[in-house]
Structure 1
Amino acid sequence: MAKLRDAKPSKAARAEAKAARKAAAKERRSQLWQAFTVQRQEDKRLLPYMLGAFLLIVGIGVAVGVWSGGFALISLPALGVVLGALVAFIIFGRRAQRSVYNKADGQTGAAAWALDNLRGKWRVTPGVAATGHFDAVHRVVGRPGVILVGEGSASRVKPLLAQEKKRTARLVGDVPIYDVIVGNGDGEVPLAKLERHLTRLPANITVKQMDSLESRLSALGSRAGTAAMPKGPLPGTAKMRGVQRTVRRR
């Protein structure tokens, strides 16, 4: 009898988990379709590129299947359909990502937003130093060591980076410290290439060392003061006073 009682809750839990997975999958499909609709309206080349890639790969699969004959006449066209759909989806993803970065480029808080969306084992602390004009330095701990990422006016960010680098060097010892300024000027890294720039840095420490390093650096705290960085890019046309009031309310 006890086993039957245990089986019922277990069955109900599995059914509930299955329903939750279905709901989550449906929501993801809905979000993906909305993103595709928006991107298609803004990017007139999206559909031609996706259809062109799909038809080209399917055509190659059919041609090779007809030439080979036998089982390949069935398998290669089917494989072409799968690969064509995959390539079309990749094209959509990359063009959508490029569009998002182009919109965020030059906006206040864009670098912090990009760092929060890094893929992989990165430990990001936004706004470890900042000015009242929303120039900021963000700290990233990863396999390369410590990376200080500055955004804002280069003339104001460079002194911030130099000061933060001195503070950080006192705690990290011989761990490498890199500094990066996000922007489109000489010696700066464009926002869209920031993740690629970080991933190309050499691996100098282990994941275990990263944990130890992060705990030591947390003692530094933040010198951002009242000029806390906004969560995500802000339109460049926004008036600074209104932006500051919004940030303070957060």
Structure 2
Amino acid sequence: MAKSTRDPAAVKAAKAEAKAQRKAASKQRRSQLWQAFQIQRKEDKRLLPYMIGAFVLIVAASVALGVVSGGVFMLVVTILLGILLGGLVAFIIFGRRAQKSVYKKAEGQTGAAAWALENLRGKWRVTPGVAATGHFDAVHRVIGRPGVIFVGEGSASRVKPLLAQEKKRTARLVGEVPIYDFVVGNGEDEIPLAKLERYLTKLPANITVKQMDALESKLVALGSRIGPAAMPKGPLPGNAKMRGVQRTVRRK
């Protein structure tokens, strides 16, 4: 059987095209990051002082450490490490303050909880709008290591009956798998939008990833029998497109 051969010119062209695409994607990410920084800098007057202050303090500490350690080589190494660490800390400060700003703008808007859930970091299976009312109150389902989590948004008086209904319906299928439920908001016993991800990550790990897959299959079948609920169509924050925030983890 003759071996198939590929045209070297075609292979070279394909590699060049792939390299060009990677460069274009990298350039676009840098452009988006710069735009996000410019927007945040204009809205957050403390951003630059905090970033510059953190960078200068870390570099100064690294220089002092190098001087104490003695030797030109150690001084150069500690300065370089200080510059890298200072840049990293400054970037982290930017990311945290930008994320805080995004959540602050989204808070109270229709569909904000669904948006936040779909941008969770980690292995979460999110299904927005498993139940809803005509007033755009909604219940979203999350499957994770803690088990099944129902997140309600909207008026607590209207959402809580929906949460109880979905919890009862799901309990028939999942057996002893833990089920959690809460409402996103700023009222009593509610979870603020900005603390939603932190709250979820603090829940105990009760099931494995393999059990999550089986659980998701069961609940997808349940959802298909019920029929999809109408999702809230209200506005979402316009500046929500920052790096790392757009990773959607929902399995379709």
Q: TM-score, normalised by structure 2?
A: 0.88
Quote the offset at 1:220 in angstroms.
2.2
Return 5+ residue gaps in structure 2 as ranges: 239-252
Alignment match, 1:242 = none
Q: Counterpart of 1:121? A: 123
> What is the aligned partner in structure 1 of residue 69 from structure 2?
68
Query: Are 2:195 and 1:193 aligned?
Result: yes
Alignment of 1:112 with 2:118, yes or no, is no
Which residue pairs with 2:54 in the alignment?
Answer: 53
| TM-score with structure 1 setting the length | 0.89
Render the CA deviation track for 1:70-128: whole Å, top value 9, x for unaligned: 11111111111111000000000000000000000111100000000001111100000
Letter in 1 for 2:145: R
The one-letter code of the counterpart of 1:233 is: L
Q: Which residue of 2 aligns with 1:86?
A: 88
1:150 equivalent in alignment to 2:152? yes
Q: How has the CA–CA distance of structure 1 residues 30 and 37 changed in structure 2, closer, same or farther, with 3 Å as cutoff?
A: same
User: Deviation of residue 63 (structure 1)?
Assistant: 1.4
- Name the counterpart of 1:241: none
Counterparts of 1:1-250 in structure 2, within 5 Å, are: 5-70=6-71, 71-221=73-223, 225=229, 227-230=230-233, 233=236
Whole-Å separation in 1 of the counterparts to 2:4 and 2:77: 48
Cα distance per residue 1:171-191 (max 9 Å; x no partner)? 111111000110111111110
Give me the whole-angstrom Cα distance separating, in 1, the residues matched to 2:161 and 2:207: 27
| Structure showing the higher helix proportion among its residues | 1
SS at match of 2:206: coil
Query: How far 1:4 sits from its partner (Å)?
Result: 7.9
Contact 1:98 1:192 in 2 (8 A): yes
Question: What is the alpha-carbon distance in structure 2 between the residues aligned to residue 37 and residue 22 of structure 1?
Answer: 22
Q: Give the SS at the match of 1:128.
A: strand
Give the direction of change, closer, same or farther, for the CA distance of 1:234–1:99 in structure 2 (3 Å limit).
closer
TM-superposed CA distance for 1:9, in Å, is 1.9
CA distance in 2, matches of 1:72, 1:197: 43
Q: Structure 1 59/160 Cα, relative in aligned 2: closer, same or farther at 3 Å?
A: same
* Distance (whole Å) between structure 2 residues aligned to residue 105 and residue 144 of structure 1: 25
Give unmatched runs, 5+ long, in structure 1: 236-250
Distance 1:37 1:209 in 2: 44
8 Å CA contact 2:128–2:231 kept in 1: the answer is: no
| Residues 59 and 135 (structure 1), Cα distance of their counterparts in 2 relative to 1, 3 Å cut | same
Q: Distance in 2 between matches of 1:4 and 1:129?
A: 56
**2: CA distance between counterparts of 1:172 and 1:232?**
34
Task: Indicate the percent of aligned positions where both proteins have the same amino acid.
Answer: 75
Maintained 8 Å contact 1:129/1:223: no
Indicate how the Cα distance of structure 1 residues 199 and 232 shifts in structure 2: closer, same or farther if over 3 A, else same.
farther
Structure 1 range deviating more: 2-11 or 13-22 = 2-11
Q: Is the 8 A contact 1:108 1:234 kept in 2?
A: no
The alpha carbon displacement at 1:62 in A equals 1.1
C-alpha distance in 1 between matches for 2:6 and 2:169: 61
Aligned residue for 1:133, secondary structure, equals coil
Q: Distance in 1 between matches of 2:64 and 2:237?
A: 51
2: CA distance between counterparts of 1:135 and 1:224?
14
How many matched pairs? Answer: 233
Residue of structure 2 in register with 1:240 after alignment: none
1:247 aligned residue: none
Q: Which amino acid in 1 is paired with 2:162? A: L
SS at match of 2:101: helix
